[in-house]
Structure 1
Amino acid sequence: MSTALKPLEMPLWGSRLIEASAGTGKTWTIAALYLRLILGHGQVGQPVLMPLLPENILVMTFTRAATQELKERIRQRLQEAAAYFREPEQQPTDAFLQKLLEDYAEPAARQYAAWRLSLAADAMDQSAIFTIDAWCQRSLREHAFLTGSDLRESLLQDDNDLRADAIRDFWRQEIYPLPEHLLEPVLAVFADPDQVQSKIVPLLGNGATFGQPSRPLQALLSQSITALQQQIKMLKQRWSDQQADLRSYIFQILNGPKADNPLNGGKYKPEAMEAVFEALQDWLDSPEQILPANLEKCQLLRASSLQKNCNKGRSIEAPSSARILEAVLDELETLKAQFQKIHYDIQSHAAAWIQQRLETLKAMHHQVSFHDYQRRLADALSDPARAEQLKSRLQSQYPVAMVDEFQDTSSLQYRIFDAIYATASNTPERLLLLIGDPKQSIYRFRGADIQSYLQARRLTAGRHYQLDTNFRSSKPLVAALNALYDEAEAELSEGAFAYAEAGADNPLPYWPVQANGKNADWQLGKQPGPPLTIWAAAEPLNKADYLYLAAEQAAECIVQILSNPETGFRQENAEQIRRVSGRDIAILVRDRHEAACIREALQRRHVRSVFLAEKQSVYDSPEAQQLLLWLEAVADPENTQRLRVALALPLLDLSHQELDAFNRDENAWEEQLANFQDLSRRWRRQGVLAMLHHSIHHFAIARKLLRHPDGERRLTNLLQLGELLQSASATREGSEALIHFLREAIAAGHDQSDAHILRLESDAELIRIVTIHAAKGLQYPLVFLPFIATYRKDKAEDYQLQIEGDGAARIIWERGDSEATERARLQEDLRLLYVALTRAEYALFLGLAAPSSAKSPIFDHSAIAYLLGYQHHHMALPELLKRLQQNAALRENLQIHPLSTEIPVTPLVASTSNTQSRIPDYHGHFDKTWGIGSFSLLVRDLSSSAPLSARRARQGAIWHQYPQGMRAGTFLHDQLQALAGQGFATVLQKGSAARITQACEQAGLSDWAEGTLEWLQAIVRTPLTASALTLENLQHYQSEMAFWFPSAALRSRKLDQLCTDQMLPGMQRPRLPDRVVHGMMRGFMDLVFADAGQYFVMDYKSNVLGSEDQDYHEQAMQQQTLQHRYELQASLYQLALHRLLQQRLGRNYDPQAHLGGTLLFYLRGLEGPQRGILHLPANLALIEEMDQLFASGERAS
């Protein structure tokens, strides 16, 4: 029996358990008791601990956020109390402090108390408020001699990577060496390392210890498998002579006249029997195979099965072969159990080996996980040689320990607390205070062990206290939940949480709570809003229909609530209500699938929402994968495959037509290549975050993402990833290191440190969609539980976790009882339901439906069905709800509506009467014509009548046979750029062949490796100028030189006319499309070099002019140049070079002397009349006129 807790009267010694139901002021109570401990306050006639300091009061909880909140709340309470004790008449009324003050009647006592409280408030930074993990770590370090701790060890936040290494080592060292006859049973357990991960990691995560492997896996298996295979061999020999006889017998019946067939046609179909005999034959033919693949279906061929499965009134005389098979199958069933034990032995061995290897790897790196800290402290506290001394020191250091959220402790953690403070002893020299709510124990998947709570409850019998006032929810809602649970507690034999047993104390009862009440009332329209609303389907539904209709109903109801100006919260004595906003509403779900259902229903009604899964890592988001591919392309823009992948990412949202244009339009492709080259330079110079911001701006990524319903979520993920990468770049050198970091983070995926948890995309009025697990500890004015009738049956595991007397966990290889497994599932679901129902402040909305079949996992075995007494009353859902309405305590607080099959879709219209301040419109002026221009932009959509490329030659020089098109041209350009960085002459060295071959393989040109090398060697030896200068002996040059210069609203037609008049005048060329270039012009020059005092620009061209050398004469190259407007490109290069030389050479600059012009190097014309070189001399008049045109071009009208 629990006693209502009175914070001033509760004894502060011994071991005590406080049950703090949802919303009952647990943190306030901890702070109140903390004040008393600081003061040494106690009751007359009771043992009293001496006044303590914060460093001696150990408070443990489960998250860093919770420790910070506790520290601040306690510090604030200490400060308030100190001020109250100094001058109580000048402080606000505080009932607790007022009563506490009465116990310090003397002024001197009050001033001393005020001093102690103030001293404690100042010392809160040294307080012993920790997470359990952090306290274990601290204790091991502070008592390193007694615990045998290595002070060199560092904390390993996440040991998943090392565990993956240990699994790979296990596969290499234990599985690879196995001979074939031992490999088959192992592969039946683990097909690959991924299956080792999926089967063994849960075993290790249970906290169980497996000891050290006694011998290698091969030695473990040799004896047992050899004996088993010998028995199997004898069975195969016994059966092999009988297979043909039984097969003939069966098919003679099946293929004979139907009237003569006595066998059940539904079970004995020819194709099914054929598969059974094939499985038996495969078993006979495979010496290593232990059991037939289709063993269950083989049972149909037993003599007893043949006789049993005859049609009504018919019988059969089974042949001797069927009786022999029956005996064989009986023995196989026995051997199957032996084989299963071998499977268990393999898993136990793997777990032990991997556990030991993981410890070795951590020791090698001097790293320790949080679980290691707990295990080591527990081991030290149970070691006879040092336990008593360690306990004594910890008891002296922390005479008081409060364990918050005690229901979430693991068996190992409780073993530590009990070892130090001896829960059963109830000694007056110290205090162990266990604070929690077993009804909210929902983290079994993290190791939370409710059995530890129940054990502590038994050991503290007679010392149980209850917080009995709910401060979270309104009085009507508290009354409704009390009525619901009181009825279940009274009528159900196992109690409201399915723990009660006949003749025994209920270890997990429901105690009704009082309601402190809210300072506002929930109003729906002009009426008081019901605290509990249920939508129930009139007809049974399958799960898919239930999810769809419940989501639609909830979404439509939300629209009505948000749209109604008379729905909201009315403060006491207030004339106006506060309308409901999106942030007032939470929709609680079990998983992502349910979240997707409700989000889709909300999106159809234009209602914005956000899904908040519990500590979901941003590295798990699709944007992380996309950003990885984007970074790979930016780091290596010359890699055509990477660049194509980046351009096809959903981030850019390009259509199929736009993507196809890059295959057909060389200028469009070169423009994108230039974009990514620019991003690559930004990354190197300014950092990854600056590059990402520029990408978002330049490619309009934000605008494109925000077109999607979850666009804000996507954009927020992208920006958060950018910030994480920028932080990571501080300790990683180069782009490849950062890409590796992101790739590893995505692979880990589970990293849940605070920086990596998904951020809320905005502070807008978004409806929260939250998993029930993530909602624990939170509260919302209105809570929707549309899918509360769903459930998932747990499958009985092949093992059971057994907690020994010393608290250690052991694995027992024994299939769990399915009934016990289902009972445990229901018990946890009932606790999860309680958490969900107690998140609301004013109102709950539930969706229910009966299942259309026994296979539909809704309602029948759900927690809500149990709570409503579905199994107990044996009523259909409609009758059950009618009965619920007859409950006097629920009648005024419950509304039941039909879950309609025809639900309207009402779009949410933004309220014009919203009283919140509106952000003013920005009226600043942006020059929307400003942009970045380039040669590619100028010639885009060029109206050209250029002939199709000539057919590739089948013989002659390699450059005439080489593949044509943009892919081959880009590859050749990349190789020349790479050679520029290494020195062009390196291609003539012996080691160049391997590099060229590798590059060709990566580009899909493996067959052209030898030809590529030959061509490149010819290129670097080709004379370029009159002085016979070649790339091979080039000394002063710069590859891929970038340029930028401003452009003042220049019309392309003026530039077009200027070039037509002064570059190769009198020759025909297509006109440039009319467009305006206003902003900046940019470009990249393939090669800039100096020779004999002159500066030249070279541009590589892989265009095909013909299939023979003589096709590359000067006139042909001029026509090709004009057809693609390369003369304009050359003029832009000369202008850029002119401006650069003006700055670098200053007064010494003489354009006539220094400008050598542009060389267009037609690479396929190496042996043509002009050696493939078309020299366009610098035209100073043209350059100066272009310079003026870009500087003062008129604005477009």
Structure 2
Amino acid sequence: MTTLDVLDQGERRLISADGLDRTLFVEAGAGTGKTKQLVERIVSTVLRADVALSDIVAITFTEAAASELTTRIRAAFEARLADPDTPTADRERCARAIADADLAAISTVHGFASRLLSEFSVAAGLPPRVTVLDEVSSQLAHERRWERFVDRLHDAPEHEELLYRAALIGIPLSPTYHGEASFKDVAATFGQHWDRLDVLIDAESAPLPALDFAPFDAAVAALAEVRATCLDPSDRLAEHIDRLLPSMRTVVDLTDPHHKLRALTRRANWPKSRFGTQAAWGCPAVEIRELIEHVNDAAQASLAEAGAAVVDRLMRLTAAEVRNAAHERRANGGLEFHDLLVLALRMLRRSPEVRRALHDRYRHLLLDEFQDTDPIQIELASLIAAEPTAEPPGRWSDLPIEQGRLFFVGDPKQSIYRFRRADIGLFLAARDAFGGSGPVGLRTNFRTVAPIIDWVNAVFAEAMPEELPGAQPKYEPLVAARAADSGHDHRPLVFGSAHPDPKVRAGELREAEAADVGAIVRDVIDRPDRWPVFDRRLDRWRPARPSDVAILIPTRTSLPFLRDALDRDDVPYRLATGTLVYDTQEVRDLLAVLRAVDDPNDTLSLIAALRSPLYGCSDVDLYTYHAARRRWDLRGTVPEGLDDSHPVVRALAHLRELWLDRWWVGPADLLGRVMHDRRAFLLGYGDPRPAEVWRRLRFVLDQARAFEEADGGETRAFLEWAALQSSDGARVHEPLLPETDDDAPQILTVHGSKGLEFPIVVLSGLTTRPANRRPGVSVLWGDDGVPEVKLRADVATAQHEPRADLEEEMDAHEKLRLLYVAATRARDHLAVSGHHKAGGDPNGTFAGRVAAFHDANPVLARPFELGGAEADGVGPDVPGETSDAVAATDGSPGVAGASLGRNGSPGDALADRDGWIAERSALLAPFRRPSTMSATAIARTVDPTIDDVDDDSRNGADARPLVRRRGRAGSAVGRAVHATLEYVAFDQPHDVRELAQRQCELEAIPALVDTVEQLVQAALASDAVALARRHRFHRELYVAATVGTTTIEGYVDLLVVTPDGLVVVDYKTDGATSPAEIDAKVAAYELQGAAYAVALEASTGLPVVDCRFVFCTTNGPVERSITDLDGAKRRVRDTVTGAPDGVADDPAPGDQGTLF
């Protein structure tokens, strides 16, 4: 490998030798060797300034980094000691430093704070014995504290009104289902910031205000008054208002404010209308329609005011509880990580004696990875470094600090831990305070080859052109020290581009992206010579190995798609981040067994356990057992007709044994017994990667042991704790040790890859919008120190939204830095996803930004196209080279992995295989016609993208994955809308809000209840539903009929029986709004509706005279009918029978009886 000149040698010399007596602030880009410079500065300080290693503090971000730093410092002193040219005095200093290395203050900021508290426990107000709780213990303690707090709230009479209003509005104290936003999450966030709660707690708290519905009442009165002035009673807007006013007046007439609050909560959005004429009203109809909006706005304002008051009061009670818990921990000596920092800082602020002692002892403080540390760190370091005074000033930047006492090193472009209190604004402020004439910059990158550095520089110079004060640094380009002299092309590989369908779903984008990732990794495995990597141990280039590949993902959202694609391509992989393990099937199976044993009434977990490979019960086994017993209970006896050899009976017998023993064994022993008895490790051989399965099983067992050691722990508590680990942001112990013989690519989160480097990096999961607001509870801190809280869109404190806009901008900046961190993990090869939606903002997603840049700068990267030049090797060769992937004609090796064809030339086998597959498919085609086809499957012959039910409008790249469940509805919003319309009373739909809320809770989308309600109200306002009110109708009607040899089946949303015949009504919630979009959807759905018509006519003998699609939008309903219904029905019969157009039988409906 060729090493280029180091252009910043002067800056490095300043850090390690010439600037020891100066306070330096170093901005070190990725891969610039900052750890080496830090070690050299420490060694030089000991040798040149005659400072003992024990007088130096070095703080870094992780325990692993601290351990590595200690090892490298010791190794540096040992090398100096072994050098015969080292002077005697320096040899003595080296020997003393080696002896002091294990006792030196080289640790994380939490470790350093713990050291201070243990040395000055009396000054800190701590008991003689102090223990530091790990993450497991802290989470469990929080669970118990919260349960006790909620019990106390319910026992206190003074909180009765508060809790009553909270229940009416739907503000849960604890989640009623997994993932529901509740005040328990607020308490967890407050626990990580309890030192900031004094302002909130000490502020005067006003009592709950009286509920005020006067604006709503006035708005309804105004609408009723205007309705009386209508000149045309048949005007559609007048009819619409007539349908709304009864339910509005019902709410107005309620005298009990609690009943009124509940009624508004259930129904706070009345449907809008697009109709009305000026002639009927004597003014533009839009002015009348706006009065409906005024009613909705007044209702929402009343609810928002009531909700904000409840949230504010609960927030103050929660804050007081969290602070009291922190004080109890200090008194009891059981401290959490954040307690260490707060108590150490408060001790330093209060005690000049402690500051004097620490100032005299620690003469130099070096802060590594400064961009990602807690803001308390800078104040701790400044108080120790500054000359002690009786009363320190209020701000750390005002402290008088002697030159050379402090040293900072970090990279603001790698600040990616805002969710753990890292503050880019603080980094920039410290740089301005301590940087003097300017920070010292390290720009020479020793990690990555030049072509990748060139691409990174160009991309981020465009994305971060100027510094945004307090928010984003200006990008400073890196200089590559490594030349790409392997003889291959090392430019980044950009795979994927704009999807041709601008309405493509996020899932489809992720599937396409994951498929390309699988193809790239497969290419590395099959053609390693095409991916040379530099082996530092061998000091030469060598072909790539599978373990050289790291697939980095920003979040776990894309992980299921990625794993499926890798499995399809037979690509081995391992999950290198602990938090990802809880999403694997084998771990879910084990936890299902434990849940079934812990709670015999948990039927879902019991069946999941029985169907898992651990017990191997088939669906037939489950059916025969249930037919004999009619209920699921592991405590029951063997049902009649079955013997002890039945698989389910045997499985339940084992589970019963575990259930009987559950009181006497902890979760770790119970888990170990399941693994042993059910041969879990042996079952790993059924996976293509058994070593990976064993690794995950051992990891979970170790986690269970850690839980028991921390808690003494019962199984139910362990299961609750394990459920927490599947959430984003869960602080699980990250690294998993690989098997020693494991040669496979690894999958990591970008956060988990921080500080690491890999020969080949593939960036996946880049289809998500950077500016997405994080789902769930949001707690934001204003400049006044008062937190603003949001549980869901309609429940938040008054000032949350203004602050959220700034927070969203800060999140977008951080996610851009996350992309920089990911790209700079690569040493020799980098592949980046460019999969994104066509149209719109190219910077709307990471992949869109990458693709747009590649289109504008194609020379800096190379494309990846399956079936093109990349099929035989990734990317074009360097000009002037001969590709070694071209098949030879003399029998010499050609394409890697290709066998010889029948005529002896390589590559013919691939062509023969393609031909054989085509012939086989043609032979089997007549036998592949399904015996049963759903109406949706028939429609897919026209538009393959049609889902089992319409998707909601959030199915874009910016939508978080919605819950998918069994049943007809394919999306969470679509299912909720259809279910609500199934139960709501058409004649008096007063309970829409309540039904919608219930369905949204079942679908785990409570924040979208307003959207669901609006879509339901749109359907209720349609002419189709109006028709149903006048005739007999059936909802969610299952229909099936045989056409030829195929059975057509499906569910009809609404079937209206009119004197003229049947009318099929199908609700659509797929977000189409413009006339062009709706017309396109009608064309796509035409066969689906016609299929219902064919099945109904065949099964009932009644004619279907109309098939209507009701597109439910937030602006009201849009209805379309199939214009040529008879022609569409013929096409359905042709599609089902496979006959050419016009050949299939087209029987007219006859008098075959009726089911109605």
Q: TM (normalized to structure 2)?
A: 0.61
In 2 relative to 1, CA 600–361 (structure 1 residues): closer, same or farther, beyond 3 Å? same
Cross-structure match for 1:174: 153
> After superposition, what is the alpha-carbon deviation per residue over 1:70-128, rounded to whole angstroms, capped at 9, x for unaligned?
111110111012222xx14xxxxxxxxxxxx7xxxxxxxx1111221122112211111
Task: Say whether residues 1:186 and 2:151 are aligned partners.
Answer: no
Letter in 2 for 1:37: T
In 2 relative to 1, CA 276–353 (structure 1 residues): closer, same or farther, beyond 3 Å? farther
- Contact in 2 for aligned 1:798/1:815 (Cα 8 Å): no
- Contact in 2 for aligned 1:208/1:809 (Cα 8 Å): no
In 2 relative to 1, CA 25–180 (structure 1 residues): closer, same or farther, beyond 3 Å? closer
Task: Pick the aligned partner of 1:767 from 724, 741, 745.
Answer: 745
- The CA distance in 2 between the partners of 1:274 and 1:724, in whole Å, is 59
> After superposition, what is the alpha-carbon deviation per residue over 1:678-714, rounded to whole angstroms, capped at 9, x for unaligned?
9899999999989877765664544444434576544
Q: Equivalent residue of 1:602, what SS? A: helix
Q: Equivalent residue of 1:129, what SS? A: strand
- Contact in 2 for aligned 1:539/1:849 (Cα 8 Å): no
Cross-structure match for 1:136: 113
Task: Pick the aligned partner of 1:512 from 462, 466, 477.
Answer: 477
* 1:23-422 paired onto structure 2 within 5 Å: 23-39=31-47, 41=48, 50-84=49-83, 87-88=84-85, 110-158=87-135, 159-175=138-154, 177=157, 182-187=162-167, 188=169, 190-194=171-175, 195-206=182-193, 209-211=196-198, 223-226=207-210, 229=211, 231-232=212-213, 256=234, 260-261=235-236, 263=237, 270=240, 274=243, 277-279=246-248, 281-285=250-254, 286-288=256-258, 289-290=260-261, 292-293=264-265, 297=269, 315-316=282-283, 338-339=305-306, 341-359=308-326, 361-362=328-329, 365-383=332-350, 386=351, 388-422=352-386
Q: Report the CA distance between 1:448 and its aligned residue.
A: 0.9
* 1:581-730 paired onto structure 2 within 5 Å: 581-613=545-577, 615-616=578-579, 623=586, 626-627=589-590, 630=593, 647-659=610-622, 660=624, 664-668=641-645, 699-708=678-687, 712-722=691-701
Task: Pick the aligned partner of 1:4 from 11, 14, 38.
Answer: 11
Task: Say whether residues 1:566 and 2:529 are aligned partners.
Answer: yes
Cross-structure match for 2:938: none
Q: Equivalent residue of 1:476, what SS? A: helix
Cross-structure match for 1:481: 456
- Contact in 1 for aligned 2:372/2:417 (Cα 8 Å): yes
- The CA distance in 2 between the partners of 1:808 and 1:325, in whole Å, is 36
Letter in 1 for 2:50: P
- Contact in 2 for aligned 1:163/1:358 (Cα 8 Å): no
* 1:527-546 paired onto structure 2 within 5 Å: 527-537=488-498, 539=500, 541=502, 542=504, 543-546=506-509
Letter in 2 for 1:147: A
Letter in 2 for 1:884: N
In 2 relative to 1, CA 310–761 (structure 1 residues): closer, same or farther, beyond 3 Å? farther
- The CA distance in 2 between the partners of 1:204 and 1:688, in whole Å, is 27
> After superposition, what is the alpha-carbon deviation per residue over 1:458-502, rounded to whole angstroms, capped at 9, x for unaligned?
10232521222211112332233334444x2xxx7xx44x6347x
Cross-structure match for 1:782: 760
- Contact in 1 for aligned 2:750/2:822 (Cα 8 Å): yes
Task: Pick the aligned partner of 1:549 from 478, 502, 512.
Answer: 512
Q: Report the CA distance between 1:610 and its aligned residue.
A: 2.0
- Contact in 1 for aligned 2:277/2:285 (Cα 8 Å): no
- Contact in 1 for aligned 2:771/2:809 (Cα 8 Å): no
- The CA distance in 2 between the partners of 1:58 and 1:319, in whole Å, is 70
Q: Report the CA distance between 1:454 and its aligned residue.
A: 0.8
- The CA distance in 1 between the partners of 2:542 and 2:430, in whole Å, is 46
CA RMSD in angstroms comes to 5.0
Task: Say whether residues 1:499 and 2:467 are aligned partners.
Answer: yes
Task: Pick the aligned partner of 1:837 from 819, 823, 831.
Answer: 823
Task: Say whether residues 1:17 and 2:25 are aligned partners.
Answer: yes
Q: Report the CA distance between 1:515 and its aligned residue.
A: 2.4
Q: Equivalent residue of 2:761, what SS? A: strand
* 1:961-980 paired onto structure 2 within 5 Å: none
- The CA distance in 1 between the partners of 2:442 and 2:691, in whole Å, is 42
Letter in 2 for 1:768: Q
Q: Equivalent residue of 1:445, what SS? A: helix
- Contact in 1 for aligned 2:763/2:833 (Cα 8 Å): yes
Cross-structure match for 2:1024: none
Q: TM (normalized to structure 1)?
A: 0.59
- Contact in 2 for aligned 1:19/1:436 (Cα 8 Å): yes
5+ residue gaps, structure 2:
1-6, 176-181, 387-396, 626-637, 790-796, 874-894, 900-1156
In 2 relative to 1, CA 160–692 (structure 1 residues): closer, same or farther, beyond 3 Å? closer
- The CA distance in 1 between the partners of 2:164 and 2:380, in whole Å, is 43
- Contact in 1 for aligned 2:23/2:407 (Cα 8 Å): yes
In 2 relative to 1, CA 558–617 (structure 1 residues): closer, same or farther, beyond 3 Å? closer
Task: Say whether residues 1:883 and 2:853 are aligned partners.
Answer: no
- The CA distance in 1 between the partners of 2:355 and 2:431, in whole Å, is 22
- The CA distance in 2 between the partners of 1:575 and 1:778, in whole Å, is 20
Letter in 1 for 2:802: G
> After superposition, what is the alpha-carbon deviation per residue over 1:859-899, rounded to whole angstroms, capped at 9, x for unaligned?
43235656x7xxxxxxxx66x544313xxxxx3x5223458
Q: Equivalent residue of 1:896, what SS? A: strand
The higher-RCO structure (CA 8 Å, 6+ apart) is 2
- The CA distance in 2 between the partners of 1:636 and 1:322, in whole Å, is 54
- Contact in 2 for aligned 1:522/1:568 (Cα 8 Å): no
- Contact in 1 for aligned 2:58/2:367 (Cα 8 Å): yes
Task: Say whether residues 1:826 and 2:812 are aligned partners.
Answer: yes
In 2 relative to 1, CA 768–619 (structure 1 residues): closer, same or farther, beyond 3 Å? closer
- Contact in 1 for aligned 2:527/2:896 (Cα 8 Å): no
- The CA distance in 2 between the partners of 1:314 and 1:732, in whole Å, is 71
Identity %: 21
- The CA distance in 2 between the partners of 1:345 and 1:82, in whole Å, is 63
> After superposition, what is the alpha-carbon deviation per residue over 1:356-394, rounded to whole angstroms, capped at 9, x for unaligned?
3423553574422121121122223333xx2x3332221
- The CA distance in 2 between the partners of 1:809 and 1:140, in whole Å, is 29
> After superposition, what is the alpha-carbon deviation per residue over 1:306-356, rounded to whole angstroms, capped at 9, x for unaligned?
9xx757998448999999999988977876675465245224313323313
Letter in 2 for 1:601: A
- Contact in 2 for aligned 1:618/1:757 (Cα 8 Å): no
In 2 relative to 1, CA 189–355 (structure 1 residues): closer, same or farther, beyond 3 Å? farther
- Contact in 2 for aligned 1:793/1:822 (Cα 8 Å): yes
- Contact in 2 for aligned 1:17/1:434 (Cα 8 Å): yes
Cross-structure match for 1:1148: none
Q: Report the CA distance between 1:275 and its aligned residue.
A: 5.4
- The CA distance in 2 between the partners of 1:205 and 1:284, in whole Å, is 46
- The CA distance in 2 between the partners of 1:411 and 1:731, in whole Å, is 29
* 1:994-1009 paired onto structure 2 within 5 Å: none
Which structure has the larger Rg? 1
- Contact in 1 for aligned 2:272/2:292 (Cα 8 Å): no
- The CA distance in 1 between the partners of 2:433 and 2:590, in whole Å, is 55
Cross-structure match for 1:862: 845
> For this pair of structures, how many residues does the alignment match?
817
Letter in 1 for 2:183: V
- Contact in 2 for aligned 1:207/1:809 (Cα 8 Å): no
Q: Report the CA distance between 1:545 and its aligned residue.
A: 3.2
Letter in 2 for 1:788: L
- Contact in 2 for aligned 1:480/1:532 (Cα 8 Å): no
Q: Report the CA distance between 1:778 and its aligned residue.
A: 1.1
> After superposition, what is the alpha-carbon deviation per residue over 1:523-570, rounded to whole angstroms, capped at 9, x for unaligned?
5xxx44434445434746533333222222232232223212532327
In 2 relative to 1, CA 121–530 (structure 1 residues): closer, same or farther, beyond 3 Å? same
